[in-house]
Amino acid sequence: MCQVFAGQDPERYASTTRRIRLNGQSTSIRLENAFWQVIDTIAENDGTTTPVFISKLHSEVLELRGEPVNFTSLLRCACLKFMEVSAHENQTAVAAE
């Protein structure tokens, strides 16, 4: 079982820093490449760019809850949520066939 996790390509868990503007402020976000791939997919599915998606998400979180304590953690959890919703949608589609 652990071979599935341990045997993955190290590039997936290598980190990359991207510069982005959030509410007019330039900042950088450092995430593992696997999370960047999911965020890029979310943005593409929404018909937007990754920076625009992240900025919109940040603005919505500010409006709902105030400044997040750890925005990169929120991004990682957003990736997990996206994967959960996608898995549920796929299961529902298969059940409907």
Quick check: 81 pLDDT over 90? Answer: yes
CA pair distance 79, 42, nearest whole angstrom: 8
pTM flag (> 0.85): yes
The residue extents of the domains of the chain are 9-96
What's the mean pLDDT in 63-78?
Answer: 96
The reported pLDDT for the residue numbered 24 is 87
Residue closest to 59 by CA, chosen among 48, 47, 67: 67
pLDDT digits (tens, 9 = 90+) for 3-56: 888 999 999 999 999 999 988 899 999 999 999 999 999 999 999 999 999 999
CATH code of 9-96, in short, is: 1.10.3990.20
Which ranges of 1-97 does DSSP label H, i.e. alpha helix?
2-6, 10-13, 33-45, 50-65, 71-96
Residue partners of 62: CB distance under 8 A and separation at least 6: 23
**Residue 66 pLDDT more than 70?**
yes
Closest-CA residue to 75 (of 37, 44, 49): 37
